[in-house]
Amino acid sequence: MDTGREKLRALWQDKRPWRIRLPLAALCAFACVFTFLIFGPCEIYAQNAQEMTFPFSVLLRGLLGVAALVFAALFGILILLRGKVFNLAVSFLFAVTLAGYLQGNFWNTDHGALTGDAVNWLRYKVPMLVNGAAWLCVFAAVFLLLYFSRRMWTRAVRLICVVLVGAQLVALLSLTMGSGSYRLWRAGREKEGLTRDGIYEVSGKKNVIVFLMDRLDNQYMDAALEKYPELEEGLGGFTYYHDFTGSYANTRPSIAYLLTGVQHDYTVPWDDYFHKAWTEPVYTLLPDIHEAGYQTKVYTDCGYVFGAPEDVSGFVDNVREIGKKKVRKGPMLEKMLDLSFYRYTPESMKPYFQISTSDLNGIAVSEDEAGADRLFSVDDAAFWSGYRENGLTVGEEGKGSFLFYHLNGAHDPFTIDADAEPAPGGSTREEQILGNFRMIFRYMEELKEKGLYEDATIIITADHGRPPKPTGDLSGISESRVSTLMIKPAGEGAEGPMKISNKQVCQDNLRASIAGYFGLDTGAYGRTVESVGEHEQMTRILWMRTEGKGEKKLYTFEIRGDANDFSNWKVIGEIKMQYTGI
């Protein structure tokens, strides 16, 4: 028993006074807190400022508060410890900090952008094991150094902590005070925003209505039509264009390209691209519609389509002044720290911190008089709830309306069921597609009840098809990706079967058709969907980026003939991407 007490006493014995232990404890605790709780979230914000709806200054204040509390707790615990217990605790915290820094900067496996897609973590078992071994090596090196030479261990901990904090502090100052810092400090401070105003108001005159269902590949659509015949029954009067290609394989920039014709090669930041697309468009579709006397309302995620609301405030009618935004600080800190931990934790722990960029929506709100958020973000359940509460109203302002609704469609995460009700326990792609069509069909029924359906042009389409497989190279693009396009032109009722066309058309043709539906001169826009012959051979271009390990590249495909046949796809160019986002 005495021997046991002696051993325990030996663990606690320490000839070093607290003033010797204090700097070591402070350095180690500060390096950990600064890396995970300050630098990580700040760097992620700076690199993706375009997608942030809340100001950086609000985030920084919140992070400093959290970091101060965590630092006080860690430092307080360490300084109370003595002897070998103190050494072991400092070694553990230091090893976590060092391994986390190496993880975030050198060891991470590319799991693709955080767009809400489910990650098949089982396919990363080997990388997880290798990564776990690397973490164990760092821990072993730190504890072995302590075992063999406490003096060298002390010097190493002090030096490396100073180097880590110094390197990250210089990087943080560069981000916040460097040449590109204006992007950082202006993010989330917009005086105007893309609002929900007028979302359920149609015109009593002319309506062109677009329902864009995200990622609705024609393979998903075909499967739904085959399994659920009632879908085809609800699409009477529509023509299903079964050979319709998008422009890009991602929402950003495919919707902006559809509406402006401006290409993006991923070599400039997103806010630069969006500013150019909307201030120097190849095709001035929305300004032309607006100038012709029509209301133009677009309901989508502003950061994924417009970038800065002020660039489109002159011709998108639901961009309005929003006053001072209210930031929900709890969710803001939770999500930004999740992103930081996702970056710095070992591969085996990343599933616990994975979020979608859509989770950042709703953090900053602009409340109306009833306390509801005026700002729009893509949320199918919220759209359906608001519709059922309000129904459609009819306005008489202008010559008519262009309404563009962005729905989640076939895109993860799946948040609604087949009845369009929220599915907090999770849903499936098939159910979400059915839920979207339930919403669309009810909307069309109300148009019929108000006598506006036959004169309306209704377009059901997708921004892009199925994403590439996350192989990081061309092997992930071994199958065709064909988007869905269905059009009910004005003058068509709901009678008769849904028609199927195999015209070889693309987003460029759809853009021209939308212009034509408003009586604009389509000569300036190119060929419309309707002008393309049923058996005419067309050449189309589609850009697709790779995801996963390896160098990120953007491939240019030329499609000659039927896009459903991948043998008609040919790579005619590739470039290295520099800016991709979260």
Whats the size of the chain, residue-wise?
A: 582
Regarding whether 180 and 37 lie in a shared domain, the answer is: yes
Q: ∠ at Cα 450 (444, 452), nearest 5°?
A: 65
**CA pair distance 415, 432, nearest whole angstrom:** 7
DSSP string, 486-503: EEE-TT--S-SPPEEE--
CA distance 375 to 373: 6
Tens of pLDDT, residue by residue over 171-207, are: 999 988 876 777 788 888 888 999 999 999 999 999 9
Same domain membership, residue 210 and residue 91? no
Helix, strand, or coil (residue 401): strand
Q: Name the domain boundary from 186, 201, 218.
A: 186
196 and 173 in a common domain: no
Do 34 and 149 reside in the same domain of the chain? yes
What would the two tokens of residue 217 be?
């590949």
Q: Are residues 379 and 506 in the same domain?
A: yes
Return d(Cα 300, Cα 251) in angstroms, integer: 10
Q: How large is the average pLDDT for residues 20-46?
A: 95
Residue 251 clears pLDDT 60, i.e. is over it? yes
Boundary residue ending a domain (132, 155, 186): 186
Between residues 384 and 80, which one has the greater pLDDT? 384
Let me know: does 445 contact 418? Beta carbons within 8 Å: no
Residue 32: the pLDDT is 98
pLDDT over 90 (residue 460) = yes
Shared domain check, 180 and 196:
no
Enumerate the β-bridge partners of residue 486.
240, 460
CA 359, 247, 578: angle at the middle one, nearest 5?
65
A 10 A CB-CB count for 163 gives 12
Pairing mode, if any, of strands 295-299 and 400-407? Answer: parallel
Which CATH number goes with the domain that contains 476?
3.40.720.10
- Report d(CA 41, CA 246) in Å as an integer: 34
- Same domain for 196 and 163: no
Q: Is residue 336 part of a domain?
A: no
Q: Is the pLDDT of residue 383 over 70?
A: yes
Strand partners, 487: 239, 459
* Angle, vertex CA 393, rays to CA 389 and CA 395, nearest 5: 155
The pLDDT score that the predictor gives to residue 388 is 95
Q: Reply yes or no on whether the pLDDT at 492 is more than 60.
A: yes
Q: What DSSP character marks residue 37?
A: I
Average pLDDT of span 417-440: 95
345 assigned to some structural domain? no
**CA–CA gap between residue 318 and residue 65 (Å, rounded):** 37
Instruction: Confirm whether 340 is domain-assigned.
Output: no
Residues 327-351: tens digit of each pLDDT: 999 999 999 999 999 999 999 999 9
Q: Model confidence over 38-92: pLDDT tens digits?
A: 999 999 999 888 888 899 999 999 999 999 999 999 999 999 888 888 999 999 9
Task: Please give the Cα distance from 103 to 123 (Å, whole number).
Answer: 19
Instruction: Return the structure tokens found at 208.
Output: 């062109």
* 367 inside domain: no
Ramachandran area for residue 465 (φ above 0: left; ψ -120 to 50: alpha; else beta): beta
More confidently predicted of 57 and 372 = 57
Mean pLDDT of the chain: 92
Indicate the pLDDT class of residue 4, thresholds 50, 70 and 90.
low
Inter-residue contact 515 to 259 (CB < 8 Å): no
> How many CB atoms lie under 10 A from the CB of residue 173?
11
- Whether residue 429 contacts residue 220, with contact meaning beta carbons closer than 8 Å, is answered with yes
Confidence of residue 400 (pLDDT cuts 50, 70, 90): very high
> Which residues lie below 8 Å from residue 323, measured CB to CB, with a gap of 6+?
191, 366
Burial call 520-555: b when 16+ CB within 10 Å, e when fewer: bebeebebbbbebeeeeebebebbbbbbbeeebbbb
C-alpha to C-alpha distance for 17 and 426, rounded to whole angstroms: 56
The pairing of beta strand 192-194 with beta strand 400-407 = unpaired
**335 alpha carbon, distance to own chain's centre:** 13
| 3-state SS string for 213-241 | ECCCEHHHHHHHHHHCHHHHHHCCCCEEE
Per-residue pLDDT band for 2 (boundaries 50, 70, 90) equals low
Pairing of strands 457-461, 326-327: unpaired
In a domain, 338, yes or no: no
- In percent, the amount of the chain with pLDDT more than 90 equals 75
User: 163, 186, 209: which is the final residue of a domain?
Assistant: 186
The pLDDT tens digits for 513-546 are: 999 999 999 999 999 999 999 999 999 999 998 8
- The backbone region for 371, taken as left when phi is positive above 0, alpha when psi lies in -120 to 50, beta otherwise, is left
Instruction: Give 83 or 266, the one with higher predicted confidence.
Output: 266
Task: Supply 303's token pair.
Answer: 């950061």
State whether 58 and 30 are in the same domain.
yes
Q: Which band of pLDDT confidence, cut at 50, 70 and 90, is reported for residue 370?
A: low
The kind and range of the H/E element at 558 are strand 553-560
Query: For residue 135, what are its two tokens?
Result: 């973490």
Query: Is the pLDDT reported for residue 369 higher than 60?
Result: no
Note whether 406 and 379 are within 8 A (CB).
Answer: no
∠121-126-128 over CA atoms, to 5°?
A: 60
Question: Does some domain include residue 276?
Answer: yes
Q: Are residues 223 and 118 in the same domain?
A: no
Say yes or no: 182 and 199 in one domain.
no
What is the number of structural domains in the chain?
A: 2
Domain extent at residue 63? 2-186
Do the bridges between strand 393-395 and strand 485-488 make them parallel or antiparallel, or are there none, so unpaired? unpaired
Q: Please tell me whether residues 492 and 544 are part of one structural domain.
A: yes
Give the confidence band of 6 by pLDDT, cuts at 50, 70, 90: low
Same domain, yes or no: 427 and 569? yes
Which of these, 154, 161, 146, 160, lies nearest to 30 by C-alpha position? 161
pLDDT exceeds 80 at position 7: no
Q: Residue 549: inside a domain, yes or no? A: yes
Report yes or no on 356 lying in a domain.
no
